[in-house]
Amino acid sequence: MTSFGDFKPLCSHTPSYPWCNLFYHQARPPSPLEFHNPSTLVGVSANFSSAPVGINPECGTLRVGSNGSLGNIANTIVCGLSFFITLGLIWLTNRRKAAVGRFELQIFLVMYLITLPLQILTTGSFLEQGSNALAILTAIHAGSVAALFWALLGNAIVATQVVEDGTISSLVPFMFFALAFFVATTYISLDVAFTFTRTFGPSSPPEALTSVPVFVLTSIWPGAAALIYFITMSYIVIGQLREFRPMAYYALAAILFILSQLDYFLLNQVICNGTNAGVDGSFVATILETACVFVLYRAWKSITEESWDDNIYYR
């Protein structure tokens, strides 16, 4: 029976699910010779030199070079393109010198930018499964994602003008909580992979691949932060600014985010099976996520236009 915080279903049914790398490192024996012992790693996962991302996945792209595999090539290309698109958004944001929340939005975009190369490294099947390098990069990736969604929520808080944007009173708590989420999530993820302690370390039972803190910080927290962000911005745009055109952007961003998650957890394996593990559906999720970030930029731009300089954003 699956309980809250068990990653076993996700790691077997969701191709390229990065947090499974933490449990693979936890489960991997010190030597291939020890695979004759009972292990949670069987099938394609038993050979860690060619194993795909996941724990005994039903479908997954083999490591680059194994049987001619190109790894998760589609998502790697999309992440690369998204990296340059995000760079462009950072540049465009910087040009709007008088816009409210400019620094905070730039921080959010920079954080999203950072997650893209990490996603390539943790889901692209470039590094050997169970290696220390892959486990460490995955832990950093998890920390970056948790901090990214704090930055998203932080932008909504700044938009309420509780504190003046771009000032020390805004940026210090903004960065403090971003750092706190990053450090806490990275440490917990490292503990899961390397089992430094028994607090966050070994799963019990091992085959359940259980970590409630990692599940909360990488699955529950992003969804909750996105929901609170949408509710807060809806209140600001409709309740205070009394504008409806920007709300269309925020609604579209919410739809794109939801579709990206549905693709990742429902369509991902279908695409993987349909291409005989040549690629999986993670590239579609990345396209939708980057489109969501672009639409969020457009939404922010629309509520900071000079033609609306009589609203609360300029008082």
- pLDDT grade for 123, boundaries at 50, 70 and 90: very high
Domain assignment present for residue 84? The answer is: yes
Number of H helices, E strands in the chain: 11, 0
Q: Is the pLDDT of residue 315 over 70?
A: no
Up-side HSE of residue 231: CA atoms within 13 Å toward CB? Answer: 6
| pLDDT for residue 116 | 98
The pLDDT assigned to 36 comes to 42
pTM of the model: 0.92
What is the model's pLDDT at position 153?
97
Sign of CA dihedral 26, 212, 14, 225: negative
Q: What is the pLDDT of residue 161?
A: 84
Considering the domain boundaries, does residue 278 fall inside one? no
In terms of C-beta distances under 8 Å and separation of at least 24 residues, what long-range contacts does 93-100 make, across chains too?
93/297, 93/300, 96/301, 96/304, 98/304, 99/300, 99/301, 99/304, 100/158, 100/159, 100/161, 100/165, 100/304, 100/313, 100/314
Domain span at residue 83? 8-223
Q: What is the spatial distance between Cα 172 and Cα 191, in angstroms, rounded to a whole number? A: 28
* Cβ count near 230 (within 10 Å): 17
Is the pLDDT higher at 270 or at 29? Answer: 270
- For residue 88, being part of any structural domain is answered with yes
Question: Which residues have a Cβ under 8 Å from the Cβ of 287 and sit 6 or more positions away?
Answer: 78, 82
Alpha carbon distance 172, 174 (integer Å)? 5
Q: Which range, of 68-72, 86-90, 109-113, 214-218, averages the lowest pLDDT? A: 68-72
Q: How far apart are CA 63 and CA 54, in angstroms?
A: 12
User: Of the candidates 182, 141, 165, which has an alpha carbon nearest to the alpha carbon of residue 236?
Assistant: 165
**266 within some domain:** no
pLDDT confidence band for 96 (50 / 70 / 90)? confident
Which tokens hold the place of 186?
């990275």
At residue 40 the predicted structure's pLDDT band, cuts being 50, 70 and 90, is: confident
Q: How many structural domains does the chain have?
A: 1
pLDDT of residue 106: 95
Q: Can you say whether residue 166 is alpha, beta or left, with left for phi > 0 and alpha for psi between -120 and 50 degrees?
A: left
> Which are the contacts of 143, defined by CB distance < 8 A and separation ≥ 6?
181, 182, 183, 184, 185, 186, 189
Over the stretch 162-207, which tens digit does the pLDDT of each residue have? 888 778 888 999 999 999 999 999 999 999 999 888 888 777 777 7
Instruction: Determine contact, residues 21/126, Cβ cutoff 8 Å.
Output: no
Whether 262 is in a domain gets the answer no
C-alpha closest to that of 138 among 191, 180, 179, 178: 191
Residue-level pLDDT at 33: 47
- Condensed to tens digits (0 to 9), the pLDDT of residues 43-82 reads 899 898 999 999 999 999 999 998 889 999 999 999 999 9
- 3 assigned to some structural domain: no
What percent of the chain has a predicted confidence (pLDDT) above 70? 92
Mean pLDDT over each residue of the chain, to the nearest integer? 90
